[in-house]
Amino acid sequence: MRNYESTKRILVTGGAGFLGSHLCDRLLAAGHEVVCADNLFTGAKRNIAHLHGHPRFEFLRHDVTFPLFIEVDEIWNLACPASPIHYQHDPVQTTKTSVHGAINMLGLAKRLHVPIFQASTSEVYGDPEQHPQREDYWGHVNPIGPRSCYDEGKRCAETLFFDYHRQHQLQIKVARIFNTYGPRMHPNDGRVVSNFIVQALKNEPITIYGEGQQTRSFCYVDDLIEGFIRLMATDASVTGPINLGNPGEFTIRELAEKVIALTGSRSTLEMRPLPADDPRQRQPDITRAREQLGWTPKIDLETGLRSTIAYFDQMLSGGST
Ligand code: NAD
Ligand code: UDP
Ligand code: UDP
């Protein structure tokens, strides 16, 4: 029996992607109905294969740059390729996905008077001059570089969210997500964690861009999804933007060494040129998430890497995941 008090019909755009599929799992586990809308550009049916036939799950092949007319109680807007290889493949489409996608989903939220979540990104800070990054930092972004389609698209999406909030009193929840990893990452998306793990499992050279002294902070997917849920559960006065990420900071070289140790790999380190506009340092200041959501990541890098390695190991050995 449906409990009308607490169960909702929820739209997740980008729900067949890495983060989106984990979010669908979490919402279904809480008893909600989930409509997953995805054009499968970077997402995969295998990410949601286990939900096939689930009575409260529905998959909709849909591109968010086109209008969508459905009835839901809540919207999570995650649709957008997230890795540089994918978002630079068709940069114009990337900007359209962020900007037109946001307009369409905000229009839907406005018509339905429902809360809407935006998966924004630490990339809005660009190559930051402040460290760690707080939400009130405006960023240092190149508007015409290879990463701009993503960075500026996401910045414009944030602008739209806040203008719909001010102009149409929409309930918005904007999360700025920092590097997140875990099972169901795309094996060929060129992200550092998936690259290093796949290379290590194949005993191939680990490709370090630049000297490997640039830093990132890596959040395990389960921690991040917990932050999402807590943010959506806040009252209407909480809009974000709110940083969600793990403040533990590691150099790329340290990550490579950890992955080699945990996989017992024979891989060696291979230096490659640093890509253009590659941020040197990135670390979230999560004070706001601590204070407003009572949230803090719990899973350390080693624990998270072990389960991610197990996922890729199974995938590479042809097992179902
Ligand atoms: P992902 O590529 O696995 O997922 C994105 C999903 O969006 C895919 O399923 C893809 O097919 C879908 N999609 C892309 N364009 C679409 C369109 N026009 N219409 C409908 N669906 C479309 O990436 P992810 O890591 O799961 O990222 C999810 C969201 O979180 C993205 O918005 C991304 O910008 C944001 N984010 C992720 C990270 C991270 O570390 N993973 C960091 C910051 C922000
Ligand atoms: N939109 C949608 N689904 C809806 C309502 C609106 O996809 O249920 C789209 C619609 O295509 C529109 C966009 O959202 O272009 C913005 O809607 P809004 O009402 O804000 O603007 P307007 O329709 O006035 O341009
Ligand atoms: N990186 C690397 N080797 C790889 C892939 C990435 O050294 O095989 C570096 C990359 O240059 C960047 C960092 O790892 O400095 C994180 O890259 P990723 O693409 O995962 O995320 P982002 O740059 O968006 O934070």
Q: Which two tokens stand for residue 73?
A: 């109680």
Q: What is the pLDDT of residues 195-207, one digit of tens each?
A: 999 999 999 999 9
Q: Which atom of ligand 3 is nearest to the CA of 208?
A: 7
Whether 319 shows a pLDDT value over 80: the answer reads no
User: β-pairing, 242-244 with 172-177?
Assistant: parallel
- pLDDT for residue 280: 86
Q: What count of Cα atoms within 13 Å lies in the side-chain half-sphere of residue 66?
A: 9
Q: What is the pLDDT of residues 146-171, one digit of tens each?
A: 999 999 999 999 999 999 999 999 99
The residue nearest atom 18 of ligand 3, judged by CA position, is 191
Does 67 contact ligand 2 (Cβ within 6 A)? yes
**Domain map of the chain by residue range?**
9-316
User: Average pLDDT, stretch 228-238?
Assistant: 98
pLDDT band with cut points at 50, 70 and 90 for residue 4: low
Give the Cα separation of 131 and 171 in Å (integer): 30
- pLDDT for residue 204: 97
244, 176 Cβ separation under 8 angstroms:
yes
Does 4 contact ligand 2 (Cβ within 6 A)? no
- pLDDT for residue 281: 86
Q: 9-316 belongs to which CATH class?
A: alpha beta
Whether 320 shows a pLDDT value over 60: the answer reads no
Cα(103) to centroid of ligand 2, in Å? 7
Q: Is the entire prediction scored with pTM above 0.85?
A: yes
User: β-pairing, 180-181 with 74-77?
Assistant: unpaired
Whether 3 shows a pLDDT value over 80: the answer reads no
Give the Cα separation of 11 and 116 in Å (integer): 9
Q: Average pLDDT over the chain, rounded to whole?
A: 95
Q: In the annotation, is 181 catalytic?
A: no
Whether 12 shows a pLDDT value over 50: the answer reads yes
User: Average pLDDT, stretch 223-246?
Assistant: 98
Q: Which atom of ligand 3 is nearest to the CA of 274?
A: 11
Q: Which atom of ligand 2 is nearest to the CA of 67?
A: 7
Whether 234 shows a pLDDT value over 90: the answer reads yes
Q: What is the pLDDT of residues 18-45, one digit of tens each?
A: 999 999 999 999 999 999 999 999 999 9
Does 154 contact ligand 3 (Cβ within 6 A)? no
The residue nearest atom 7 of ligand 2, judged by CA position, is 67
Whether 225 shows a pLDDT value over 60: the answer reads yes
Any residues with CB less than 8 A from the CB of 106 and at least 6 apart, and which?
Answer: 116, 160, 161, 164, 170
Does 179 contact ligand 3 (Cβ within 6 A)? yes
Please identify which of the residues 87, 125, 150, 311 carries the catalytic annotation: 150
User: Average pLDDT, stretch 79-92?
Assistant: 95
pLDDT band with cut points at 50, 70 and 90 for residue 318: confident
Any residues with CB less than 8 A from the CB of 48 and at least 6 apart, and which?
Answer: 15, 16, 21, 24, 36, 57, 59
Does 105 contact ligand 2 (Cβ within 6 A)? no
Query: Of the candidates 313, 190, 22, which has an alpha carbon nearest to the alpha carbon of residue 321?
Result: 313
pLDDT band with cut points at 50, 70 and 90 for residue 5: low
Q: What is the pLDDT of residues 46-76, one digit of tens each?
A: 999 999 999 999 999 999 999 999 999 999 9
User: Average pLDDT, stretch 217-245?
Assistant: 98
**Among 12, 23, 42, residue to substitute to test ligand 1 (most atoms within 8 Å of Cβ):** 42
Does 90 contact ligand 1 (Cβ within 6 A)? no
- pLDDT for residue 1: 44
- pLDDT for residue 127: 87
Region of poorest pLDDT, from 116-125, 187-196, 233-242: 187-196
